[in-house]
Structure 1
Amino acid sequence: MSDSQLTLRSVNVTRYVTPLREGGSMPAIAEADDGFLYVLKFKGAGQGVKALIAEIIGGEIARALGFRVPEIVFASLDEAFGRIEPDEEIQDLLRASEGLNLALHYLSGAITFDPLVTVIDAKTASQIVWLDCLLTNMDRTARNTNMLIWHKELWLIDHGASLYFHHSWQNWKEQALRPFVLIKDHVMLPMATELESVDREFRQLLTPGLIADIVHLIPDEWLVEEYSFETLTEHRQAYIHFLETRVANSEIFVKEAQNARETLI
């Protein structure tokens, strides 16, 4: 067991404000009992709790590496919301999501990052590319950057599409050693000229203890429905092993990113 000091706050959803229909899983803006607005991610959406697990791991690894990421909290949803919602599609989603969900602090007034408008330096670009190679995050393309500009600063959001191996857990140990070929479509790849120095820096930061602490943030109840493992401990350890293996062998995905970048020049 980890003796992690990392924690996520817990809130109760008090008001469903509006759906964000541009998201494939239809998240929503909601108000919680602490008075803040959040982007609420539902466990009853298409990818289920796997997307929420990826959101925790991806978001908290990004934060640990120094990126700006909106605060992630656990958000409890009462069954009453499903009863009063008139939209049948949203009603079904709310009913399927009663209990523990995930939410990110809503960055009011933030604008979507546009690479044609905002210039990102080579080191920052390389850091983001490295992060997404580690996480196998397929969702940071020019079409959907999943980055925001808020108070003139860059923020990373939406890591739910990361760690796609865990949707089947087939050959997951081998997948930990594979390059991330989809990096060729990454919006930051053309500017990522400092991958080797970033690799040295980030490998030092992502220690086994830190990885374990982040994985232990995942609630037990989000791990119980996976039949690939006999125990929760075994399931949790698989995430730890996958991430530790990728960090220890990061030269594999760094080389893939460098080769992909060369084809763009």
Structure 2
Amino acid sequence: MIENGPQLRTVNVIRYVTPLREGGSLPAIAEADDDFLYVLKFRGAGQGVKALIAEIIGGEIARALGLRIPEIVFANLDEMFGMTEPDEEIQDLLKASTGLNLAMHYLSGAITFDAQVTTVDSKLASQIVWLDCLLTNVDRTARNTNMLMWHKELWLIDHGASLYFHHSWTNWEEQAKRPFIQVKDHVLLKQASDLEAVDEAFSKILTDDLIHSICSLIPDDWLLRDAPFETAEEHRQAYAKFLISRISVSEVFVKDAQNARTSLI
């Protein structure tokens, strides 16, 4: 692990403010004991801790690459929250999420990115496309961009749909070396004309040590026994191996993205 590598703060949730019902996993705006508002992602929701793991890995890799990501924190949820919530659906979610969850700083006043309104330059577009190819992130389409404009700057949010291989771990070592065919639907693909230059720069930044450091952030509690892994550490190391392997053959997904872009322009 590299010195002064990425670290996540831990906060305690003190007030459930409102659900964000546009999210399939029913995230919420909540207040923490540091007086900040957060978008709270629950371990008891749909994809459970796997979505939270993808959120940590995707978000912290993006941050390491210099992209704008709201601060990610661990968020402790007390069991009392589930006892006082009148909405039964939310009550069940809160009860199932007692303990350590994940949250991102709430960007108050931010608006959803609209490709028809805001033009992204080729370098930034290429950086985001490269990131999503690495992470196999299927959720950055025109229908759901998962990007926000805040103070006239572009911010990336919600990487929970990344690393979709980990829902089964079938042939994961082989999948690491495959192109990302869903890139054809990426909202910024048409503007991504600098993929080769970005590939060269980003591959140098994402060293093996940095990848291991980011994966070390995943709590043992979230890495429960999950076939084919017997220990949390073996499970954690598999994420690192997947990413390191994928970066080593990044020209595969870069070439595929370039081909998909050519068909668009």
TM-score (norm. length: structure 1): 0.98
* Cα deviations by residue, 1:115-163 (Å, 9 ceiling, x for unpaired): 1111110010000000000000000000010000101111000000000
Amino acid at match of 2:36: F
User: Does residue 72 of the first structure (1) align with residue 72 of the second (2)?
Assistant: yes
- The CA deviation at 1:225 is 3.5
Extract unaligned runs of 5+ from structure 2.
none
Amino acid at match of 1:184: K
Extract unaligned runs of 5+ from structure 1.
none
User: How far apart, CA to CA, are the structure 2 residues paired with 1:230 and 1:76?
Assistant: 26
* Cα deviations by residue, 1:143-185 (Å, 9 ceiling, x for unpaired): 0100001011110000000000001111000000110000000
Q: SS of the residue aligned with 2:238?
A: helix
- Map of 2:174 onto structure 1: 174
Amino acid at match of 2:30: A
- Map of 1:86 onto structure 2: 86
Q: How does 1:102-181 map to 2 (within 5 A)?
A: 102-181=102-181
- The CA deviation at 1:226 is 1.6
User: How far apart, CA to CA, are the structure 2 residues paired with 1:193 and 1:110?
Assistant: 27
- Map of 1:240 onto structure 2: 240
User: How far apart, CA to CA, are the structure 2 residues paired with 1:210 and 1:90?
Assistant: 37
Q: How does 1:1-265 map to 2 (within 5 A)?
A: 5-265=5-265
Q: 2:225 touches 2:232 (CA, 8 Å); kept in 1?
A: no
Amino acid at match of 1:57: I
- The CA deviation at 1:58 is 0.1
Q: SS of the residue aligned with 1:264?
A: coil
- The CA deviation at 1:42 is 0.2
* Cα deviations by residue, 1:84-134 (Å, 9 ceiling, x for unpaired): 111111011000000000000000000000111111100100000000000
User: How far apart, CA to CA, are the structure 1 residues paired with 2:226 and 2:232?
Assistant: 9
Cα–Cα, structure 1 residues 258 and 116, in superposed 2: closer, same or farther, change >3 Å? same
User: How far apart, CA to CA, are the structure 2 residues paired with 1:5 and 1:68?
Assistant: 18
User: How far apart, CA to CA, are the structure 2 residues paired with 1:183 and 1:155?
Assistant: 19
User: How far apart, CA to CA, are the structure 2 residues paired with 1:105 and 1:124?
Assistant: 22
- The CA deviation at 1:230 is 1.6
Amino acid at match of 2:25: S
Q: 1:38 touches 1:103 (CA, 8 Å); kept in 2?
A: yes
User: How far apart, CA to CA, are the structure 2 residues paired with 1:65 and 1:3?
Assistant: 17
User: How far apart, CA to CA, are the structure 1 residues paired with 2:196 and 2:129?
Assistant: 12
Q: SS of the residue aligned with 1:210?
A: helix
RMSD in angstroms over aligned alpha carbons? 1.0
Amino acid at match of 2:218: I
Amino acid at match of 2:233: T
Q: SS of the residue aligned with 1:245?
A: helix
* Cα deviations by residue, 1:12-60 (Å, 9 ceiling, x for unpaired): 0000000000001110000000000000000000100000000000000
TM-score (norm. length: structure 2): 0.98
User: How far apart, CA to CA, are the structure 2 residues paired with 1:109 and 1:232?
Assistant: 39
